[in-house]
Amino acid sequence: MATEGLVRTGLRAGNGAIDAFARRHRFHPLEALPWAAAIAAFALFPSYLPLCSQVLATILFALSADLVLGYAGIVTLGHAAFFGTGAYIAGILAANGWGEPLTGLLAGALAAGLVGFLSGLVVLRTTGLTLLMQTLVVATLLHEAANKASSITGGDDGLQGMEVWPIFGWFRFDLFGRTAYFYCLAVLFLCWLMARQIVHSPFGRSLTGIRENVRRMHAIGAPVARRRLVIYTISAVLAGISGALIAQTTQFASLSFLSLERSGTVLIMLIIGGVGRLYGAFIGVPLYMIAQDRFSEIDPVYWYFWIGLLMVVVVVFARGGVLGLFERFWRWTR
Amino acid sequence: MVLYLVSVGLSVTMGLMGFVNLAHGVFAMLGGYVVTSLMTRYGVPFSLALLCAALVTALGSVVVERLLYRPLYGGDELDQVLLTMGLIFMSLAAVTYFWGPSPQPMRPPRWLSGEVDLGFRSFPAFRSFLILCGAALVTLLWLGLERTRFGARVRASVDNLRMAQSVGINTSRLFMLTFALGSGLAGLGGGLGADLLSINPSYALDNLVYFLIVVAVGGLGSIRGPFVAALLIGIADTGFKYLLPELGAFFIYALTMAMLLWRPRGLFGRA
Amino acid sequence: MDEVNTPALETGGLQKSFGALTVANAIDFRLERGARHALIGPNGAGKTTFVELVTGALRPNAGQIRLDGADVTQLAQAARVKRGLVRTFQITALFRRLSILENVTLAICERQGIAGDLVRPAGHHRAAVEEAHALLQRLGLEEEALRPVNMLAYGRQRLVEIAIALALSPKVLLLDEPAAGVPSGESGRIIEVIERLPQNIAVLIIEHDMDLVFRVAQRITVLVQGSVLVEGLPEEIARDPEVRRVYLGERAPA
């Protein structure tokens, strides 16, 4: 390398750039916003808590999809496979005598992670359409399996008779959904911290590299396949947790948890918020779910039409979703 | 076999344009609706109804292609997936609005109902007709692709797009025509198979997996691939349902995964 | 084996065909330690294919590739990079939406083996960032450290390509047309950088720009239609009638 002196003077001048670069992971005050909003929602909408809990759990689902889609660039139509696995495992445990929520959650997470790891080994060898196909096939396989094993899973009718015990033996799941809400909020918070940590780590940065230019990543010696498998498995674990949350808080699980529609919907929610920006899930999910809640009272068929139209519009005009629009606006006003 | 009829268009357009068109099923569905409506409401004969279906879907597809698909060629895969899924949703709602949510009744024409006795076994006439159509289509398409100038241009573009452009082939018009052909075929297939794959609003969504499987296993951009894949799937499906009825469709999916692992480009796929 | 005489890179009988088209025809090639070697040939001769085969992006049908005496023919591209075999791309292959500091830091993190770190924030690995910055300084790019690549002039982007390659501490550096498409005003910088490359790196340059080739190269190999036509000192190549006929035309170089 160049002489030490030269390096040191250079460092002083470039310190600004290096500092800016090194500080990217620090917490920004705006990041407290979603959590403040969540607490506010508890106070402001006490009669909508069950819906809000579902929103929180679905945010986690969308967040897990963002890791795989937005950061690693893996387009999947079968993410519901992990969601459904987590839901069913936690649900089956609760329906068969073991209703302890935290261990049920853990079991769902591990099961989903296993499915993610095994399917990832197979699926991630391919790219493009074949990859898309494989993810869809995995989810459909699990859907069929759950359908056939109806003695355990309840088949078409769904899994019923779940009994979830109080958290830590103390906090019972009440009818108003208060416990459920804080349960979901706490789990989401912890998982979000984890996801955030990963995104800002060297591993997470290398994922961005994989998404931007795979050829280049190979050419700098990155073990691309291994990295993709790791993030795919982590994402599966998070998706499984979100599924288990839904199952435990609604005391229900059904085949639709494993459906193409569920996988497609999470993509839509993410796109609306903005992919690859960590917070897209926080914006897209509430928007979608609240809108759907309103619309389905009016006419469920029209819902499909408007959502379809929205997707087309977003793709053609606003590819970065809501966050992307913010970014554009921000740059434009500078 | 219906799967083949609908999917062959998808195989060619995806192989040619590299565009993930999940909404292909929408054209098949549209064809099905045209055929069933014409036949039941206006008493139009079967063959004529089929022709109308093919024409209508072909024309409709041109509009869609010019307006929506064209700006996304060569772009981000996610965008294409989302756009076409959005189209599926919109079509689902639109169709429910015009035709209602229940499946459309389909009665095959009299000259095709009943059975055909070949001496050693009798086969249901309509199914045999479908298989004949499939075989005829494969041959026609293959001949068209191999023997005509249009076919040669299509093949060249599938193999190497930039080369084809530099040689002077108007790829944008080629895309449009091929897409129209593929979608028209889908409409035809939807109409022909209206008895087997019931025509209802969620047609495109329900059958998406099957279309994609046939295309992915058969190989993008090939004519024979989806034919073989559809045959394989049909045989495997009946075979497994006969031998192991409890496992049902499970095996099809496992088989698909295995096949895609073994041949990621499909059986007859090209680059 | 004699340490000093082991070539930095060697291929024996390297063969690659796509159906009836042979793009590499039993290529035997030696790159000595610390060499400045150029690979030239008409368009379509298979020069970039050769680079792809050597780096592992393409699998050969036959032949061996030896890096510093060790057989690497079965190794994946990433593994070869870890052993010091680095390339740049003819058509810029950078992380376009990321800043150039980020581009180079990614490479350094891979080299240092910290890129698999899931837990600590990237900013904590300050040494890596500082090294990246120092490298940018050496190449005169530090002013634009935080700008995204796609906002840089093309000549600067080509420099970033080289920066990334250097960040990997290469022992063998394959430069695929480093000055390609760069306006003549900016190519001077690139030539300067190439000339100042450390002596212990063995460098193979693929180029069409004959000025650059004759300025930098100590040996030249001429590749035509996948086969080695001739190899030798620059003066010999310039005088060789076969080469003149196939590639240089009848003019002598400047």
- C45-101 confidence digits (pLDDT tens): 788 889 989 998 888 888 899 998 889 898 888 889 989 999 999 888 898 888 898
- List the 53-72 stretch of C: residues with Cβ below 8 A of A: 55, 57
Contacts of A26 in chain C (CB under 8 A): 123
CA angle A290, A249, A175 (to 5 degrees): 90
Range of the domain at B51: 2-110+124-262
Q: Is the pLDDT of residue A60 over 90?
A: yes
> How many Å apart are CA B157 and CA B151, to the nearest integer?
10
Residue B196 has pLDDT above 70, yes or no: no
Within 305-334 of A, beta carbons closer than 8 Å to B belong to 305, 307-312, 314-316, 319
**Closest residue, chain C, to A201 (C-alpha):** C121
Close Cβ partners of B36 (under 8 Å, ≥ 6 residues apart): B104, B105, B106, B191, B194, B199
Residue of A123, A129, A263, A319 to mutate when probing chain B, most B C-beta within 10 A: A129
Asked if pLDDT for residue C183 goes beyond 90, the answer is no
Residue with tokens 């690995």: C125
A274 versus B168: the higher-pLDDT residue is: A274
Q: How many residues make up chain C in this entry?
A: 254
Give chain C's mean pLDDT. Answer: 85
Calculate the alpha carbon distances from C23 to A205, C44, C53 in Å.
37, 9, 10
A243 min Cα distance to partner chain C (Å): 24
Cβ-based contacts of B248 with chain A (< 8 Å): 144, 148
Cα separation of C49 and C56, whole Å? 10
Q: What is the pLDDT of residue C203?
A: 92
pLDDT in tens, A214-239: 889 888 888 888 999 999 999 999 99
Q: Do B253 and A137 touch (CB under 8 A)?
A: yes
pLDDT for A67 equals 93
Residues 158-197 of C with CB under 8 A from A: 164, 167-168
Chains touching chain B at 3 or more Cβ pairs under 8 angstroms?
A: A
3-class state of residue A103 by DSSP: helix
Assigned CATH topology for domain C9-93+164-248: Rossmann fold (3.40.50)
**Which residue in chain A has the smallest CA separation from B260?**
A130
B78:A75 CB<8 A: yes
- Residue B22 belongs to a domain: yes
Tokens of A23: 């500080």
CB contact under 8 A, B79 and A315: yes
* Number of Cβ within a 10 Å radius of residue C20: 5
- Window B:11-50, CB contacts with A under 8 Å: 14, 20
Average pLDDT of the segment spanning B5-31: 78
Looking at residue C45, its pLDDT comes to 77
What is chain A's mean pLDDT, rounded? Answer: 84
Q: Which residues of A touch C134 (CB under 8 A)?
A: 1-2, 7, 10-11
Does B touch A (3+ CB pairs < 8 Å)? yes
How far does the CA of residue A301 sit from the closest CA of chain B (Å)? 5
Interchain contact A214–B (C-beta under 8 A):
no
Token pair belonging to B223: 């004519």
What structural domains and CATH numbers belong to chain A? 29-333 (1.10.3470)
Task: Convert the pLDDT of each residue in A146-166 to its tens digit.
Answer: 888 877 877 777 888 788 888
Domain limits of chain C? 9-93+164-248
Chains B vs C: touching, with 3+ CB pairs under 8 Å?
A: no
Tell whether the torsion through CA atoms of C27, C32, C33 and C37 is positive or negative: negative
C125 reaches A (C-beta below 8 A): yes
Task: Please count the structural domains in chain B.
Answer: 1
Contact (CB<8Å) C129/A202? no
Give the least confident one: A228-232, B47-51, C143-147, C162-166. B47-51
Q: Is the pLDDT of residue A136 over 80?
A: yes
Q: How far is CA C9 from the centre of its chain?
A: 12
Helices (H), chain A: 4-22, 33-44, 49-66, 80-95, 101-123, 128-148, 150-153, 178-200, 202-212, 214-219, 224-250, 260-273, 280-298, 300-317, 321-333
Contact B68 A261 (CB under 8 A): no
Out of A10, A221, A222, closest to residue C134 by CB: A10
What is the CB-side half-sphere exposure of residue B140 using CA atoms within 13 A?
10
Q: How far is C71 from chain A (nearest CA, A)?
A: 18
Residues C64 and C66: their CA atoms lie apart, in Å, by 6
A17–C86 CB contact, under 8 Å: no
Q: Is A7 on the interface with C (CB under 8 A)?
A: yes
A8 vs C: CB within 8 A: no
Which of B22, B67, B70, B81 to probe by mutation at the A interface, max A CB count within 10 Å? B81
Would an 8 Å CB–CB cutoff place A220 in contact with chain C?
yes
pLDDT score at C1? 47
* C interface test, pick of A125, A210, A220, A331 with most C CB neighbours within 10 Å: A220
Contact check, Cβ <8 Å, C101/A220? no
Using CB atoms, pick whichever of B87, B254, B257 lies closest to residue A308.
Answer: B87
Q: What is the pTM of this model?
A: 0.85
Structure tokens at B46: 């079967």
Contact list in A for residue B220 (CB cut-off 8 A) is: 129
CB contact under 8 A, A144 and B85: no
Output the CA–CA distances (angstroms, integers) from residue A71 to A167, A206, C149, in the order listed: 34, 9, 19
Residue B95 resides in a domain:
yes
In terms of pLDDT, which residue wins out, A123 or B143? A123
Q: What is the DSSP letter of A167?
A: B
Chain A positions in Cβ-Cβ contact with residue B212 (cut-off 8 Å): 129, 132-133, 136
Whether residue B73 is contained in a domain is answered as yes
Mean pLDDT of A51-63: 92
A206 to C109: CB separation less than 8 angstroms, yes or no: yes
Cross-chain CB nearest to B86 (options A77, A144, A308): A308
- Residue B123 has what pLDDT? 59
* Share of residues in chain A with pLDDT > 70 (%): 95
User: pLDDT tens digits for A7-36?
Assistant: 444 444 457 777 777 777 777 877 888 888
pLDDT of amino acid B20: 78
C82 contacts chain A (CB < 8 A): yes
Does the CB of B209 have a partner CB in chain A at under 8 Å? Answer: yes
| pLDDT tens per residue across span B96-143 | 888 777 777 666 666 666 666 655 555 566 666 777 777 777 777 777
- CB contacts of C106 in chain A (<8 Å) are 205-206, 209, 220
For residue B269, being part of any structural domain is answered with: no
Mean pLDDT of B6-25: 77
Least confident of A49-58, B27-36, B152-161: B152-161
At a CB cut-off of 8 Å and minimum separation 6, what does B258 contact?
none
Does the beta carbon of B253 lie under 8 angstroms from any beta carbon of chain A? yes
Side-chain-side CA neighbours of C181 within 13 Å: the count stands at 13
Cβ of C117 and A18 within 8 Å?
no
B165 within a domain of the structure (yes/no): yes
Average pLDDT of span A309-313: 84
Q: How far apart are CA A245 and CA A251, in angstroms?
A: 9
User: According to the model, what pLDDT value does residue A5 have?
Assistant: 45
Touching chains C and A? (3+ Cβ pairs < 8 A):
yes
Beta carbons of A14 and C137 less than 8 Å apart: yes
Tell whether B100 is within 8 A of chain A (Cβ).
no
Cα-based distances in Å from C121 to A202, C130, C168: 7, 15, 21
> Are A208 and C116 an interchain contact pair (Cβ–Cβ within 8 Å)?
no
Q: What's the rounded Cα separation, in Å, for the pair B12 and B61?
A: 15
**Using 50, 70 and 90 to split pLDDT, how confident is the model at A115?**
very high
Phi, psi of A321 (to 5 degrees): 70, -165
The radius of gyration computed from the CA coordinates of chain B, to the nearest angstrom, equals: 18
A–C interface: beta-carbon pairs under 8 A:
142
